[in-house]
Structure 1
Amino acid sequence: MLVVHSVWSSDGRVRVWAEDATLPATVGGSGRPPKRPRPHPFSASTVTLRKIVSAGAEGELGLLLPSSARGPFAAPELVRPEAGKVTAPRLLPWTVSTMDLTPAEAVPALADGVAETVGGSWRWLAAVARFGTSLVDRGQVLPGLVGAEARWMPQVVGADADHSAALLRAMPAVVRAELPEGRAKAEVYDEVLLALTDAVARGRVGPYDGGGWLRALTVEDAHVDGDLTALEGALRAWHESAAPPVGPLRTCFRLVLPEDEDPDWRVEFSLQATEDPSLAVSAGDVWRGSGSAKLLARHAEHPAEVLLAGLGRASRVYPELDAALRVTAPDSLRTDPEGAYRFLRQSANALTLAGFGVQLPAALQRGTSLGLKLKAGSATEPGAGAVVSGGMGLDQILSYRWELAVGDSELTADEIKELAAAKAPLVRLRGQWVELDNARLRRALEFLEQNGEGEMTARDVLQADSALAAIGLDIPVTDVVADGWLGDVLTGKMAERLTPVSTPDGFGATLRPYQERGLAWLSFLSRLGLGACLADDMGLGKTVQLLALIAAEGSRPNLLVCPMSVVGNWQREAARFTPSLRVYVHHGAGRVAGEELADAVSEADLVITTYGVVAREPAALADLGWHRVVLDEAQNIKNSASKQARAVRSVPAAHRVALTGTPVENRLAELWSVMEFANPGLLGPASAFRTKFAVPIERDKDPAVTAALRRRTQPFVLRRVKTDKAIISDLPDKIEMKEVCQLTAEQGSLYQAVVTDMMDRIAASEGMERRGLVLATLSRLKQVCNHPAHLLKDGSRMPGRSGKLARLEEILEVALSEGDRALCFTQFAEFGEMLRAHLTARFERPVLFLHGGVTKSQRDAMVERFQSDDGPPIFVLSLKAGGVGLNLTAASHVVHVDRWWNPAVEDQATDRAFRIGQRRNVQVRKFVCAGTVEDRIDEMIERKKALAELVVGTGEDWLTELSTDALREMFELSPNAVGEAA
């Protein structure tokens, strides 16, 4: 496990370092404080850091960190106990390896995040970056000078000032831990906010062709030469008069397309309510004092004066506005195409950054500028049965031709000549206004002359836009068309080419219609040499579809990689559905190697192994000539930089299949990792994917980018959900409900005591210590909600002391009386054992308990016993140990006694019962204690599901970012939380 931290350096960089839990747990030492910095014993190497953060330069940094004489204290996330007696922490010097990011490099890295666990310093810097981005988005910045450097200055007023103060208070100590000691929090905070805000704004403006201060605002080198005294004075006066408007009304500008034969464009003026942007009134109505203008009078006493003052301020950043201000009641500015283009590409951006509202024509915003259209095709199109390995798939060689286009329409030779001869930057073509950059047009024509036609692979066709960006050609790809199978992939008509696949004699199941379609889809992609991600919901039969593919195809050998917990399940399912397949399990301490392994593989149709084995033996497995590599529970490689993810990607095969019910749990980087395994290179490099897709979708919810990603991945991802009756009509319903429990008086007293004690400690702490205390508080409060004995760990009696336990007993009593069986999930293994003992005595029935310490053979025996006709009616499971790889359809009740707060994990656990083979309705109950932190966090769960549903949240770390007042509100006990005594 890695925990990633960030430090703000005095040289204006974000310096990233990480603690590595795999390194030795103690340092040793004489017990005397070191006189000079020593290497931090848990500091991740620069090689490891490079995998976490691809940007930046390698470095080394001296830090003052909480320590004992034995060594630095570990981050709370590592949960690494100190050896011996723990003494009070001292700040001692240590050196760590770092990746040093400029603000421009840090902003996208902080927005995108990393796959590893992050410390409070990283989250805090990410919060400051989000705040700076918000200021830029709302125009709350002004260009200025800091010493001899041009900077975009954040303008923090009103509610922003309160948010800024909260960020200052929340700064973790490690952010300013750089040696030497002594920098004030406020000083460091001001530097961080200025640097990150400046980086965001600088990235939004294009380079200025001139020189001096204006150019220094748009390029990486912010230094300004010469005597700056006069400039400083002018800027100071300008800032005082042209500060971003923060009053109730703001001035807005709208660029209007020419009407009919009128050659002139217009920039119309209006007033807009700051708090309600939908309330906007044209300048003409303002001057006339019409009814709509009177609405604005509720916000400001004299709207006309506000408008005129706003136009005066705007003229400082949009000088052409002076021409319109020569009349008494200006309502618009008429301009020519060149002026409209300058407004579109220069003035609109400057006005937005200065806090004014700007509206641009939708036609120009939709990107009706010139682009390139790619047409690709094969000389001959073989039939489906003629597809051979190496002749098709992503490596198939296709002929191509590039054409100049507007939107989806390619231009004729005459139209290209007309555009080449045009002088205006905005021209009307085929009824559309087209943005014409003569320099870009010239580059496009040069590209067509040199690369107009030729041959490329199908993979290159799918990545055409990325290829142009890689060579520095800033011309968008407006459309890609192809014939044959690639055309079907690009147009979403692949289903029309699917032909039914017959399962072989002796196959032990009759596939449902949707499973037959899944088999045909897998077979089609297999013949083309294209990888697949079968992302059906748990319980829809991914296993049986994959086994049917292997049996029907007859190609071998196939390598199946899965978690250790489901190795036995795959063995049983293969024996049940495909008894003729020769299955070999490569796992365990006694597994063979070398020639023995090669011989065993040569005799097998299906080889089953685990992620751990592949991570330890990648080279040995890579040399065995696999026809197909399959990943079960492919979310195990969601961290693309992990050792096991790199290992499975290194094993070559003609066909690759990823099986997962959750292709995206929390971040789109997980989807990239799965697709990089299935079809290497399809989504480009990870860094490019973050910039092109992940950030616009996750941060901005950009629908166009979301659609583009869906188009690129949809042909290779088959996603079906069991709640869709069109997919499967004979699966029983899953009925989910919340069970709101009340605390007993004892629980209420303990809960309040924990809050009082821990909030005082949290208020007096900072940095890593504060983060650890917040997480510890949450854990203790959840234990109180479960049962007083869970918190106290005193072995005291169970009955009558917990509202949750009382409700659980009621539910189980009814279920058992009706002959039903139940699964009870808890995230705490110790509480699971307490439940097992109590429920066994309470109902005088055997109760099973599965946790992480149970061996594979014991686990298999438990599952078989529970599934048997006379098996125990209650199965208590630790959520992590029992959340995947189990088929427990004997249960028709699922109870989540306490919550993991991760929708994907909870749904996976529920799906142990709600899957194929289930013949009854499944009732799912999720316990929540009213008026507690459980009640307040519950509303977060549905929001956590949004990302996965968008394109195809883990944990509780977000709590540590809250202010102390917000935490107190989150943790406090509501008056209605405690129930009445019986």
Structure 2
Amino acid sequence: GALGFLRDAAPALADAGFGVLLPTWWQRPQKLGMTLTVRTPQPGAVDIGSLADQDAIVAFRWQAALGDQPLTPAELAELAAAKQPLIRIRGQWTEVDPDTIAAALAFLERDGSGATDSGRILRIALDPDATAGGLPVASVSADGRLGELLSGRADQRLRPVAVPAGFGATLRPYQERGLAWLKFLSELGLGAVLADDMGLGKTAQALALLAVEHAEHADRADHPDHTAEIRPTLLVCPMSLVGNWRRETARFAPMLRVYVHHGAGRLSGAELREAVAGADLVITTYGLVQRDTEALTQTVWRRVIIDEAQHIKNSATRQYRAVRELTADHRIALTGTPVENRLAELHAILDFANPGLFGSAIRFKERYAVPIERDGSEAAAQALQQRTRPFVLRRLKGDPAISRDLPAKQEMTVLCNLTAEQAALYQAVVTDLLEQIKESRGIERKGLVLASLGKLKQVCNHPAQFAHDGSPLAGRSGKVARLEETLEEALAEGDKTLCFTQFAEFGSLLQGHLAQRLDTDVLFLHGGVPQRARDEMIERFQDPDGPSVFLLSLKAGGTGLNLTAANQVIHVDRWWNPAVEEQATDRAFRIGQRRDVQVRKFVCVGTVEERIDAMIEAKRTVARAAVGSGENWLTELSTDALYDLVGLGADAVSE
């Protein structure tokens, strides 16, 4: 009768306007759940010949609990025997389901204690919907390093790791902490996502881990349990970074034997297996992992490291599936931008580092991505942060402990006028777009809008790029004129400059024009430059006596490169994705840069460039998620809104 009143009558009376006083235990009920206690073996010396993994055996014990109060088996049996929905236990009334109590009691008698692997414990601890015996899992507690990881205390209890004497750099304090964190997770067999801002030394931290393990292996050479050979690490990176990794390894960790799996004459079959066996670090590219999946999956790697991990942000691609097929004891993802546009990208990277630990992509989207991205749920954001914190280490350039090691960065938007020729072309493209869009719908409309936006960008750059006619550049573009002036000033000051464009064709036009106009050597890096020529360009630019102007296509040169010889950065045209542009800027604004860095973003007045730039700057945080490289959000605008966005303002035409 009491339960019927509490559950049914009290709400009805309250709805009818009666004042109903209910007991506190009903208004804030303590739920019945399961707690899991885990005990790990006493830590001993780690055999560095083979990493510990998520199959490590731990002892576990399940226990029922009311709120945070554990229940004895006798008390649970008493609850089951009562077969009543409202029970008084330890002086506390609570509502229970007799059938659930019976199922929980049967579970404890059958599976209440035993041994299992660490991976299962982690999956239970990280799953907010985990149940045991029909009851929700209220808490998971563990001792040792697993307990430190689950409690979030691992960061505070990391043990310092000394780099070997032969390591070619002195790590900064935050890099020492990153090394200790990587070592901690690797000894637990757990994957890591090192997501430090671009330029904070992710490469050095990863190589320090390999150097430490190499030294530990050498120190144990006389130990009776010593493993004769340490299995190699596979490093997967974009093609543009192969030479960079080879140079950085020679600089930081010269003790490591390096084999590069790249090029038309690369090995396969038994020859590849033999070459790999004689190396400590094997470097290859994302493209080759996809093409040579069968050959590369024949080796069980000690560790797989992926650099610029945003290359696998789309879990539906063949490239992602190929990388996921690689077999390794340990995985590390290096990325300065774990989320460029959507949280699905974070899941893809987390699932590479720790396969299956964060559930399916669909479940991740339902629980985190939709509530956070669509509804702005702070609770979901906090839950996501709590569950990913043990596996993701991210430090920003603005952090006080790091900013002291970096010079200042000054960002500015440079407004450029269109010439009369550009204004006429721009208006023609807009008029044509608005005429065609009246008759188009669906995918046809989207394609038309995106194609027209690309044309408008080209017009803003230069009429010759829009016309594809190879005509001269001089005197026809306000943006090119401003670029000439800025580079002349930089050269006069003795500064070196990086100039980014998303169009390889435009970069090719600029190279010859600027070399003649400035009477200096101008380098141009794009996707078609062979690896050897790419490495030579970088070396020449980094040389104090080398060229002072470096043109780069955003896709080919926007990530991974260390170009600290430059202290000027110019974004000649915009990608409309802040994360991508910041990555490009970080080629110069990174650890090793000793001068203040000036960043200029060229924007044409009164055009779509100015309007979108204002939107991004006004809503920069939102823009990271809403403005992607595909610009698909623009295609959803109404015709009137689209005209307002792309329409040519009166102030766009120079006098």
Same fold (TM over 0.5): yes
- The answer to whether the aligner puts 1:649 opposite 2:295 as a matched pair is no
Greater relative contact order structure (CA < 8 Å, 6+ sep):
2
What does residue 596 of structure 1 align with?
A: 271
What does residue 735 of structure 1 align with?
A: 410
Q: Secondary structure at the match of 1:481?
A: strand
Q: 2 CA distance for matches of 1:781 and 1:391?
A: 54
Once structures 1 and 2 are overlaid, which stretch shifts more, 722-731 or 849-858? Answer: 722-731
2:32 to 365, 370, 384: 370
For 1:894-909, list aligned pairs within 5 A: 894-909=569-584
Amino acid across the alignment from 1:603: G
For 1:179-328, list aligned pairs within 5 A: 320=12, 324=16
What does residue 921 of structure 1 align with?
A: 596
1:503 to 146, 158, 163: 163
CA contact (8 A) 1:389 1:529 kept: no
Q: 2 CA distance for matches of 1:746 and 1:558?
A: 56
Shift of 1:388: 6.9
2:138 to 478, 481, 486: 478
Once structures 1 and 2 are overlaid, which stretch shifts more, 771-780 or 645-654? Answer: 645-654
CA contact (8 A) 1:406 1:478 kept: no
What does residue 775 of structure 1 align with?
A: 450
The 3 A distance-change label for structure 1 pair 443 and 965 is farther
Q: Secondary structure at the match of 2:140?
A: strand
Q: 2 CA distance for matches of 1:430 and 1:826?
A: 72
Q: 2 CA distance for matches of 1:734 and 1:582?
A: 38
Amino acid across the alignment from 1:374: L
What does residue 680 of structure 1 align with?
A: 355
CA contact (8 A) 2:54 2:118 kept: yes
Q: Secondary structure at the match of 1:522?
A: helix
Gaps of 5+ in 1: 1-261, 268-319, 325-331, 342-360
2:476 to 777, 801, 809: 801
What does residue 529 of structure 1 align with?
A: 189
What does residue 494 of structure 1 align with?
A: 154
- The answer to whether the aligner puts 1:955 opposite 2:615 as a matched pair is no
What does residue 210 of structure 2 align with?
A: 550
Q: Deviations over 1:413-446 (max 9, x none)?
A: 6875579859667999988x96655554554444
Amino acid across the alignment from 1:370: L
TM-score (norm 1): 0.60
1:789 to 464, 485, 493: 464
Amino acid across the alignment from 1:582: R
Amino acid across the alignment from 1:598: R
Which has the higher Rg, Structure 1 or Structure 2? 1
Shift of 1:778: 0.7
Shift of 1:549: 1.5
Q: Deviations over 1:790-840 (max 9, x none)?
A: 323344443443332233233222222211111111111222122223322
Q: Secondary structure at the match of 1:476?
A: strand
CA contact (8 A) 1:742 1:929 kept: yes
1:520 to 155, 167, 180: 180
Q: 2 CA distance for matches of 1:430 and 1:845?
A: 87
CA contact (8 A) 2:79 2:87 kept: no
Shift of 1:880: 1.0
Q: Secondary structure at the match of 2:652?
A: coil
Q: Deviations over 1:12-39 (max 9, x none)?
A: xxxxxxxxxxxxxxxxxxxxxxxxxxxx
Q: Secondary structure at the match of 2:612?
A: helix
CA contact (8 A) 1:427 1:436 kept: no
- The answer to whether the aligner puts 1:382 opposite 2:38 as a matched pair is no
Shift of 1:947: 9.3
CA contact (8 A) 1:265 1:336 kept: no
Q: Deviations over 1:379-423 (max 9, x none)?
A: x3214x346777954222222222333444434668755798596
What does residue 395 of structure 1 align with?
A: 55
What does residue 664 of structure 1 align with?
A: 339
Shift of 1:920: 0.5
Q: 1 CA distance for matches of 2:249 and 2:632?
A: 41
Q: Deviations over 1:583-634 (max 9, x none)?
A: 1111111111222222212221211112222222223222334222211122
- The answer to whether the aligner puts 1:935 opposite 2:597 as a matched pair is no
- The answer to whether the aligner puts 1:884 opposite 2:559 as a matched pair is yes
Shift of 1:468: 9.7
Shift of 1:759: 0.5
Q: 2 CA distance for matches of 1:557 and 1:842?
A: 50
Shift of 1:502: 2.1
CA contact (8 A) 1:462 1:712 kept: no
What does residue 423 of structure 2 align with?
A: 748
Q: 2 CA distance for matches of 1:430 and 1:960?
A: 63
Q: 2 CA distance for matches of 1:693 and 1:508?
A: 42
Q: 1 CA distance for matches of 2:443 and 2:595?
A: 49
Shift of 1:335: 5.9
What does residue 912 of structure 1 align with?
A: 587
Once structures 1 and 2 are overlaid, which stretch shifts more, 895-904 or 749-758? Answer: 749-758
The 3 A distance-change label for structure 1 pair 422 and 740 is farther
Once structures 1 and 2 are overlaid, which stretch shifts more, 402-411 or 544-553? Answer: 402-411
Q: Deviations over 1:217-254 (max 9, x none)?
A: xxxxxxxxxxxxxxxxxxxxxxxxxxxxxxxxxxxxxx
Amino acid across the alignment from 2:384: L
Once structures 1 and 2 are overlaid, which stretch shifts more, 398-407 or 544-553? Answer: 398-407
What does residue 84 of structure 1 align with?
A: none
Q: 2 CA distance for matches of 1:839 and 1:636?
A: 33
Q: 2 CA distance for matches of 1:837 and 1:864?
A: 21
Shift of 1:467: 7.6
Once structures 1 and 2 are overlaid, which stretch shifts more, 694-703 or 598-607? Answer: 694-703
CA contact (8 A) 1:407 1:479 kept: no
Gaps of 5+ in 2: 1-5, 215-229
1:703 to 378, 381, 396: 378
Shift of 1:697: 3.0
Please give the root-mean-square deviation of Cα atoms over the aligned residues, in Å. Answer: 3.3
Q: Deviations over 1:679-735 (max 9, x none)?
A: 222112333333333333333333333333323322222211222231352211222
- The answer to whether the aligner puts 1:583 opposite 2:244 as a matched pair is no
What does residue 528 of structure 2 align with?
A: 853
Q: Secondary structure at the match of 2:402?
A: coil
Q: 2 CA distance for matches of 1:510 and 1:323?
A: 70
Q: 2 CA distance for matches of 1:434 and 1:534?
A: 46
Amino acid across the alignment from 2:43: P
The 3 A distance-change label for structure 1 pair 405 and 392 is farther
Amino acid across the alignment from 1:727: I
Q: 2 CA distance for matches of 1:508 and 1:779?
A: 46
What does residue 820 of structure 1 align with?
A: 495
Q: 2 CA distance for matches of 1:966 and 1:447?
A: 61
- The answer to whether the aligner puts 1:765 opposite 2:440 as a matched pair is yes
- The answer to whether the aligner puts 1:614 opposite 2:289 as a matched pair is yes
CA contact (8 A) 1:866 1:875 kept: yes
The sequence identity of aligned pairs, in percent, is 58
Amino acid across the alignment from 1:513: P
Once structures 1 and 2 are overlaid, which stretch shifts more, 753-762 or 448-457? Answer: 448-457
Number of aligned pairs? 631
What does residue 301 of structure 1 align with?
A: none
What does residue 624 of structure 1 align with?
A: 299
TM-score (norm 2): 0.87
Shift of 1:870: 1.6
